[in-house]
Amino acid sequence: MSKSNNQSAVPGARDALDRFKMEAASEVGVNLKQGYNGDLTSREAGSVGGQMVKKMIQSYESSMK
């Protein structure tokens, strides 16, 4: 059985994803802080994740044109 690790395959990707997450959170009105955000409600966390997916899809669709 192999152990899973959370290391990124691309150096610097974690920082970029954190910035992207903070941007998406501010767009939907959720106040994220650096580090632990376990006090978010499921609705808040879901809205941040949903906004991130929406922006990724928009970016992909615009790159296809």
- The fraction of the chain above a pLDDT of 70, given in percent, is 89
Please tell me the predicted confidence (pLDDT) of residue 19.
94
- Flag whether 46 is in a domain: yes
- Flag whether 55 is in a domain: yes
Contact, 55 vs 17, CB < 8 A? no
The count of structural domains within the chain is 1
pTM of the shown model: 0.78
Tokens for 3, please give them: 């152990």
- Give residue 20's domain range: 16-28+39-64
- Flag whether 34 is in a domain: no
Buried b (16+ CB within 10 A) or exposed e, 17-37: eeeebbebbeeeebebeeeee
Burial environment of residue 40 by CB neighbours within 10 A (0 to 12, 13 to 18, 19 or more):
middle
- Flag whether 51 is in a domain: yes
pLDDT of 5 higher than 70: no
